[in-house]
Amino acid sequence: MAKLYFYYAAMNAGKSTTLLQADYNYRERGMETMLWTAALDSRAGVGTIGSRIALSAPAHTYDESVDLYEAIGDELKRRPLHCILVDEAQFLTQRHVLQLCEVADQLGIPVLCYGLRTDFQGKLFPGSAALLALADTLVELKAVCECGRKATMNLRVDEEGNAVAAGAQTEIGGNDRYVALCRRHFFERLREGEARQLTLGLPRR
């Protein structure tokens, strides 16, 4: 029976690299894959999954208007599909995740999703929350904090490297905007960021 998998991690854990390696393994065995990534993530170019070690592959893009079950079903009419791979899965909607459940359950195609678990404030992304609830298999990929412990959190920083404690949940960026930290150091830096923003917001005397 096909399954829905969620591979999650903090930034810089090699999620996209792992996805591209899985895609290569399928294709090396003569199997057909279909890759997806979020339309709003254009760091490697729109419709491209790119990794920090310079691997990349073209992909279909999804946003809220895309019906993944329908799109994958249409592709299945043109060629066999042995695996669906989804990058930046934190940006999926709950409806998307339900559609991917149907791909695994009704179409019998394994679905491998890769993404962040939490945002820069330690809150679950909607797509990640749905995947944590509905995926058949959950796999944590490991990243490393600056202290050497496992990094599980994503700290957003400004141009000067200071922690950002408030703002929109979604802000696309790489190492210039996010730092992977263990929980202890994440909250330490976040409190520093909150204090700094409060100080900057005070009127001058």
CA distance 35 to 172: 20
Q: Do the beta carbons of residue 128 and residue 117 sit within 8 Å?
A: yes
Q: How far is C-alpha 31 from the chain's CA centre?
A: 24
- Residue 192 falls in the annotated catalytic set: no
Q: Do the beta carbons of residue 61 and residue 86 sit within 8 Å?
A: no
10 Å Cβ neighbour count for 143? Answer: 20
CA distances from 143 to 13, 29, 38, 166, 176 (A): 4, 29, 22, 24, 17
Q: Which residue in 32, 64, 88, 160 is the catalytic one?
A: 88
Q: What residues are labeled active site?
A: 88
